[in-house]
Structure 1
Amino acid sequence: MVEGVNVDFLSIVIEAFLLEMPSRLDSLRSVLARGDDAAVRAQAQSMKSGGVFIGIGRFAGLCRELEALALTGDTAGAAGLVSEIEAEYVRVEQDLRRRLGM
C-alpha cells in the first residue's frame, strides 16, 4: 500500500469508494441522459478524485477525459467513454476486493 499511510484508514477509504461508486455510476448515466453537462463534469471530477486518492490511475484517467469533455459543453459522444469507465470500475472493484480480502 502507500508508505506512511495507516493501512486501516486506507482500507476504510477503499471500502467507502466501493460502496458509493455504483450509485455514482448510476447518477452519471442519469445526468448524461439528461444532457446536463455541468452535472456530468461534477460527477466525473468527483469520481476522478476518488480514483486518484486510492491510486487507480486508468479509472481516474478515464474520468478526467470525461470531465474535460463535459467542460467543452458537448457530451453527445460521451456514452462510449462512460461505458469504458464502467468496465474499468468492474475490473478495479474485483482487484480492490481481492486485495482487501472481501
Structure 2
Amino acid sequence: MKQLDIEAIETLKDVMEDEFSILLDTFFEDSKLRLDDLQSNILSNDAEALRRTAHSFKGSASNLGALALADLCMRAESLGAKKSLEGADSLVSQIKAEYLAVEILLKSYL
C-alpha cells in the first residue's frame, strides 16, 4: 500500500489554498497527541480507549490521504474493538514510524 494518495493531497491543497498549511499544522499537532494517547491507552490497559483514539487518528489520516497510516490505525481500532491489547505495542510502534514518514512527506507540500 502506498503511503500517500498524492491526488487527494493535491486536491486538498487546491481547494484549501492558503488554509492548507494550517490544516497540515493541525494534523501534525493532533497526531502527536494521538500517538501519546495510544501509548497511554496501552499502559492503562484500556482497549476501548485504544479503539477510540485509533478510530479518530484513522479518520484524520484518511482525510489527508495517508493511506498506510490509516490502515495501521484501522488495525489498532479493530484490536481495541475486540477488547484486546495483544500486539498493540508493536502496532503502535508501526503507527509511530509510519506517522514520522508521512510527516516528512507532507511537509514537502508546504
TM-superposed CA distance for 1:12, in Å, is: 1.9
- Residue 84 in structure 1 maps to residue 71 in structure 2: no
How many Å separate the matches in 2 of 1:45 and 1:24? Answer: 10
Query: RMSD across aligned C-alpha pairs, in angstroms?
Result: 1.4
- Count of matched residue pairs: 100
SS of residue paired to 1:7? helix
Letter in 2 for 1:23: L
TM-superposed CA distance for 1:21, in Å, is: 1.2
**Structure 2 residue aligned with 1:14, among 24, 34, 43?**
24
Give the equivalent residue in structure 1 for 2:3.
none
Letter in 2 for 1:12: I
Q: Give the % identical residues.
A: 35
How many Å separate the matches in 2 of 1:90 and 1:20? Answer: 13
Runs of 4+ deviating beyond 3 Å? none
Q: TM-score, normalised by structure 1?
A: 0.90
Q: TM-score, normalised by structure 2?
A: 0.84
Give the equivalent residue in structure 1 for 2:57.
47
The structure whose RCO (Cα within 8 Å, separation 6+) is larger is 2
How many Å separate the matches in 2 of 1:8 and 1:49? Answer: 22
Unaligned runs of 5+ in 2: 1-9
TM-superposed CA distance for 1:8, in Å, is: 2.5
How many Å separate the matches in 1 of 2:109 and 2:98? Answer: 16
Give the equivalent residue in structure 1 for 2:84.
74
- Residue 58 in structure 1 maps to residue 77 in structure 2: no
